[in-house]
Every structure is written in C-alpha cells, then in structure tokens.
Amino acid sequence: MEEVLIPLIVVPTLFIALPWLIFHYVTKWKSQATLTAEDENLLDELHETARRLDERLCSIERIMTAENPGWRQVACDPASIGIEDQLQSLKRIKQ
C-alpha cells in the first residue's frame, strides 16, 4: 500500500502543485512591479500638495524678508528652485 501511495502523492506534487505555485507568485510579482492608476493619482496629489506647501513657504519667506531684510540671505523663488521645470517634466511624462 505504501509503495503505491507515495508515488501518487509525489508525482502530482512535483508536476502540478509546484509549477502552479511558482507561476502563481511570478504573476503576482509582475503585477506588483508596475504603478497602478490609483498609485499615479496619489503621486499626483502628493506632488500638488508639496508644490502648494512650497509656494506657501515662499510667501512666508517673502513676508519675513519684507519685515526684516537681513533675516535670510537667499530669497525663495519658485523658478530658482526648479518647481516650474519639475511641473513641466511631469506633464511631459504623463503625456
């Protein structure tokens, strides 16, 4: 009985279960390697939020500079830190 039972368990395990398991996880890994539309939307929202926060920070720095000109040596300018260039690059990538 044991001589028949062991091959009946081993053969389907080797030729059916193991390949299925390997292919199952390979397809899972491939599907997770790319960004989903939801991930892209989240990144767009985060980038927009970061841009707005940076603009607010620049506004606060301009106000501080107007009140006390010597408080900071370098003025905040969105063009000088490349925000506009980054926005244009993202728009080109999305198209």
Please tell me the pTM assigned to this model: 0.48
Position with higher pLDDT, 70 vs 26: 26
Domain positions in the chain are 1-34, 36-95
18-64: pLDDT as tens digits: 999 999 999 998 888 778 889 899 999 999 999 999 999 988 888 88
CA atoms within 13 A on the CB side of 29: 6
Q: What are phi and psi of 45, to 5 degrees?
A: -65, -45
If phi > 0 it is left, if psi is from -120 to 50 it is alpha, else beta; for residue 90 that is alpha
Structure token digits, residue 92: 């080109």
Structure token digits, residue 83: 């925000």
